[in-house]
Amino acid sequence: MSPIDWLLIAILGVSALTGLMRGFVGVVASFAAWLLGGSAALLFGGGAAHMIAGGPNASPVQMLMGYALCFVATSLVVAVIAYLMRRALKAAGLDGVDRMLGLALGGLRGVAMACAVVLLLGFTPVPRQRPWQASALVPVFKPGALWLSTWLPVGVRAHLDLDGVTPARNLPALPPLPQLPA
């Protein structure tokens, strides 16, 4: 087994074990906390910053505080709900089922993360090296990485080399990043 295989096994193992420890409710709550916290920060962070500033002219630090406050507050609410749900499951004797479902969901999350790692490594010289080409697991995750690559812009996707056959010097330059408004 190559070092790439060990990396992919570690990703799968850590994710599955984390799912087992947290349980299904914990894994779903963690995902929900990130999703809802990010949404709350985007929707209400500016308003919170203006409330912190006491007016419409919030400093960059106050803006950061407003966004962070919305994210953290939402994450805490989700954590409390998840805690209450886990206690209810334990009281009902369903703690084992919750943990086994968490293991399965953690494993699926690990597969998604491994596909993303294979995709990201496809933009580096790693696929042209022996450990990649000798890997037993890279071919397993390549279809998922290729599916993920369909979400990338065509100009970026042109630089993807999962088979290690495209010399980097023959690739066109990546398009410039768009400028952020001032």
Residue 174: predicted pLDDT: 61
State residue 175 phi and psi, 5-degree precision.
-65, 150
Residue 33 · residue 22 · CB < 8 Å: no
Residue 33: predicted pLDDT: 95
Under DSSP, the state recorded for 124 is S
Instruction: Render 127-146 in DSSP notation, one character per residue.
Output: GGSHHHHT-SSHHHHHHHHH
Residue 115 CB neighbours (<10 A)? 22
Round to whole Å and give the CA distance between 165 and 154.
19
Round to whole Å and give the CA distance between 53 and 69.
13
**Sign (positive/negative) of CA torsion 126, 130, 131, 134?**
positive
Worst-scoring range by mean pLDDT, 28-37, 97-106, 150-159? Answer: 150-159
> Could you tell me which residue, 167 or 33, shows the higher pLDDT?
33
Half-sphere exposure (CA, 13 Å, Cβ side) for 138? 23
Residue 172 has pLDDT above 80, yes or no: no
